[in-house]
């Protein structure tokens, strides 16, 4: 007995049927070389450096914002009516 999925799958054209071309053969996995390892290490340290710099910038922005809010709160609190 056929299921609904089997019936639908028979009527959906494949990529080969649509384009008339065969699918590309699977690509063999590339062997990891010393150059790949070196590039990976360089990328790792550069991304780490950039992330640390961005984090420091965000921490400074937050500290400046909190300092400004404290200053404004004190001004509002001590504002003479």
R_g of the chain computed on alpha carbons: 31
52 confidence band (pLDDT: 50, 70, 90): very high
**pLDDT digits over 4-26, tens only?**
556 555 666 665 556 666 767 77
- This prediction's pTM: 0.53
Q: Where are the domains of the chain?
A: 32-81
């Amino acid at each position: 007995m056929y299921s609904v999925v089997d019936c639908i799958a028979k009527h959906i054209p494949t990529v080969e049927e649509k384009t008339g071309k065969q699918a590309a053969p699977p690509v063999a996995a590339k062997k990891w070389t010393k150059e790949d390892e070196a590039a990976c290490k360089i990328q790792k340290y550069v991304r780490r450096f950039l992330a640390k710099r961005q984090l420091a910038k965000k921490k400074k922005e937050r500290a400046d914002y909190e300092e400004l809010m404290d200053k404004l709160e004190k001004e509002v609190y001590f504002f003479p009516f």
